[in-house]
Amino acid sequence: MGTIPIIFSHMDPIFLSLLIVVASLGPGLLPRVFADRVSSKGLADLTGVASGLLLTSAFLIVVPEGFHTATAGDDTLASDPVVLGLAVLAGFGLLLALEGLGIGHAVHEEHHDNATGHGHQHVHHPSSGRVLAIGLSVHALADGVAIGAAAASGETSFSLLVAFAVLVHRVPVALSLGVFLLHQAGGRRSALTGLLLFTLATPVALVLSYLVLDGADESILALVLLFSAGTFIYVATVDTLPAVHNPTTGRRSVRNVLAGAAALSLVLILLSSAGVLNHSHHEGEGHNDDAHTEESH
C-alpha cells in the first residue's frame, strides 16, 4: 500500500498537464463553433471570478506555503523575510517589465465593450494574434513553474489547489484568445499555431520545473514558490483593473472578484479545519523538529 502514494505523486505532473491541455484547447476552440454565443459580459464575469480565485490562491496558499517551506530549510539567507518578500516582488516585477516590452497579458481588453470604448484607452493592445499568443505563452510558462514547484513540494493537496486556481483562470484567457484569433488575419493555421503555443507552454514548464525542483533544497523551492505567487498577483491584477476602472463595469467586476475570493477562502477554511491541508514535508524528518510536522495552513 505504501507504493501507491509514491506512484500517484509521480503521475501528478502528467495528470495535471493533461488537464491543462483540455482546459486550454477546449475553450480556445469554442469560439470557432459558437462564435455568437461567447458574450463579452459573460466572459468578463468569468474573468473576474477567476481572478479572485487566483488572488486568493496566491495570498492564502502559495505565499504561506513558501514561507513555511523556507523555515524547513537550512539556508538562513533564504529564510530572511526580506529575501522572501523580494522573491514575490521579482515575480510581479518580471511580468510588469514584460508588459512594458509589449509581451502583455491584456487579451481581455481586445473585445470588451467595443461599442462604447469606455475605460480602455490606457490599455496596451497587441498588434497581432502572434504577439498576443507569445505574450500569453510567456505568462503561461510562469503558471507551469508554479504548479511544478507545488508538485515538487510533496504536498498533494497544495499542488492540486494551485493547479485548480490556474485551471479556472485559464478558461476565460483561452476563450479570449480564441475570440481574438478568430478575427485576425492569417487563417486557421496561424490561429491554431498561436493557440497550441499557449496550450503547451504551461505543461512543458510544469514537467521541466517538477523534474528540476523535485528533491531540491527547500530554500530554493520556497523562493520559486514565492516568485510564482508574485506572477499570480500580477496576472489577476492586470486582468481586472481595466474593468474596475471602467465606470460601466467597475462595480460588477469588483463583486465578481470578491465572490471568487470569498468562495475559495471558505473552501480553504473548511479544508484546513478538516485537517486536509496539514503539512507532511518528509525532508523535515532529519531535522528532529516535530513542529514542522504538526503545522497546518
Predicted pLDDT at 84: 92
Residues 177, 172: Cα–Cα separation, whole Å: 8
CB-based contact 181:129 (threshold 8 Å): yes
CB-based contact 254:116 (threshold 8 Å): no
Residues 222-255: pLDDT tens digits? 999 999 999 999 988 888 888 888 888 889 999 9
Bridge partner residues of 142 (DSSP)? none
* Residue type present at position 90: A
CB burial string 14-26: b at 16+ within 10 A, e below: eebbebbeebbbe
Higher pLDDT, 275 or 190: 275
How large is the average pLDDT for residues 91-118? 65
Predicted pLDDT at 5: 41
For residue 147, give the nearest of 248, 23, 26 by alpha carbon: 23
Q: What are the extents of the domains in the chain?
A: 40-294
Provide the 10 A C-beta neighbour count for residue 184. 17
* pTM summary value: 0.76
Q: Which three cell numbers stand for residue 92?
A: 510581479
CB-based contact 271:59 (threshold 8 Å): no
